[in-house]
Structure 1
Amino acid sequence: MSTDIGLTPSSTAAEVQEALAALENPKMRAVNEKRGDDFGVNLGKLRALAKALKSNQELAVELWKTGQTTPRLVAILICKPRAFSLDDLEHWIREGDRPKVQGWFLSYVVKKSKHLEELRQRLMQDPDPVIASAGWELTAHQVIKAPDNLDLDKLLDVIEAEMKQAPERLQWAMNNTLAQIGISNAGLRARALEIGETLQVLADYPTSPGCTSPFAPIWINEMVKRQSD
């Protein structure tokens, strides 16, 4: 695959950008732009490109500095999560605010970092709803992985008071946290379901056949049912 792509572990940032430009599809970009992203590269091909480069923190930093989404996605795939300090993680989160970049960085880098919990606490209180949404996504993760670090009752209080009026990305992240609390904590499930039913956030969200609705009560009940089957 690397032969077709023309990249190797010794490729430069400029060569990577050139290869990405050759993969650009205007129609795909138009679809992604409707979701708030600004790239038109097939993600399977982008992953193959990153695989050819292998792990390379120095190149990742150079690609990140371009400020462009596709090079930044490659940077996330080839970087070394343990190479990031807490401040480095926060800096990249603040710069990489596009939905796909933020989502990948949280999943592939931050969630593997020893700084996850401290960063989560920093981001949760940020006045910028996009940055705060990253904190809430990490909180949803911690509900499953490290619930003892969290005050789940207090989180439900905040969700109940603020989710209905929250901007879209922050609302999605808070809703994710609400659902994860309801799914993973039987003692708080009834309250999580009640909050979801009362707020009706994402109740009318169109859901494709075979997919689970993001509406928290449906999501919670479906996942609990699967766990018990």
Structure 2
Amino acid sequence: MDIQTILQELELLSTERTKKTYIRNGAHEPLFGVATGAMKPLAKKLKKNQGIAEELYATGNYDAMYLAGMIADPSAMSEADFDRWMGTAYFYMISDYIVAVTLAETDIAQAVSDKWIASGKELFMSAGYSCYCWLLGNRKDEEFDQEKLNKMLEIVEKTIHNSPNRAKYAMNNFVTTVGISYMPLHERAVAVANAIGKVEVSSVKTKCNVPLASEAIQKAVDKGQLGFKRKNVRC
């Protein structure tokens, strides 16, 4: 199946309502507006294919870029490849739910995420912290350096309120994920969540609140979900 045929199939799966939703969240043309679930049969048909994934991602079409993440072969991607993908990730649904998710299935995930977080660039920071969330929610606790994660919590506590908007979301989610999925630092994450309290983000149109990390962690406690690990990162 060539790229044009794939794009035609994507367009057939689109709805105007989904397109408007994506645009409200930051997507821009070109895009069709295809729900993630609607893409799954097509992704299953294409299977894991890095060559097609690269062609899809390069179109700049949001739906094609998302499909690229679904069929990408993470083991075939280098640090330079992920940096290149981030270079055209123009809003958080690409950086956090395409690039970061794909990165989370590699052995270089933490090293690349550390570099992106240290860059100070909004979407790179968002992708870096988001990748850690995907990792923590999937991999065994033993695969992480407790001291390193503790230092990351300290940095979040000190800097979250002065960080770029999308980074705030990801940093807050990082605290929540540590509190739920990484048992050695559960109590520490709860303390940090209480310390940072309400996190506000603003955009040109609206001002909204990020969900309270302390409440999210407590909900998981109440539901008996501490230690939660998902079987797979990508659907």
State the TM-score, normalizing by the size of structure 1: 0.79
What residue in structure 2 maps to residue 106 of structure 1?
Answer: 100
Q: 1:115 to 1:68 in 2, by over 3 A?
A: same
Which of 161-170 and 79-88 deviates more? 161-170
Q: 1:98 to 1:152 in 2, by over 3 A?
A: same
For the aligned residue pairs, the C-alpha RMSD in angstroms reads: 2.6
Q: 1:16 to 1:184 in 2, by over 3 A?
A: closer
CA offsets, 1:39-97, max 9 Å, x none?
41122222222222222221111111111111111111222111111211221123223
What residue in structure 1 maps to residue 5 of structure 2?
Answer: 15
Kept after mapping to 2: 8 A contact 1:143/1:150: no
SS in 1 for 2:211: coil
Structure having greater relative contact order (Cα 8 Å, sep ≥ 6): 2
Structure 1 spans left out of the alignment, 5+ residues: 1-10, 204-212
Moved over 6 A (4+): none
Q: 1:52 to 1:170 in 2, by over 3 A?
A: same
Kept after mapping to 1: 8 A contact 2:179/2:189: yes
State the TM-score, normalizing by the size of structure 2: 0.77
Q: 1:185 to 1:115 in 2, by over 3 A?
A: closer
What residue in structure 2 maps to residue 29 of structure 1?
Answer: 19
Kept after mapping to 1: 8 A contact 2:133/2:174: yes
Kept after mapping to 1: 8 A contact 2:92/2:123: no
Does 2:83 correspond to 1:90?
Answer: yes
What residue in structure 2 maps to residue 117 of structure 1?
Answer: 110
> What is the total number of aligned residue pairs between the two structures?
209
SS in 1 for 2:116: helix
Match for residue 152 of structure 2 among 155, 163, 174: 155
* Alpha-carbon distance in 2 for matches of 1:187, 1:49: 40
* Alpha-carbon distance in 1 for matches of 2:41, 2:186: 41
Match for residue 177 of structure 2 among 177, 180, 186: 180
Q: 1:113 to 1:219 in 2, by over 3 A?
A: same
Over the matched positions of the two proteins, sequence identity in percent amounts to 24
1:12 CA drift (Å): 0.6
Kept after mapping to 1: 8 A contact 2:104/2:132: no
What residue in structure 1 maps to residue 131 of structure 2?
Answer: 138
Q: 1:21 to 1:141 in 2, by over 3 A?
A: closer
1:120 CA drift (Å): 1.4
Match for residue 200 of structure 1 among 190, 197, 201: 197
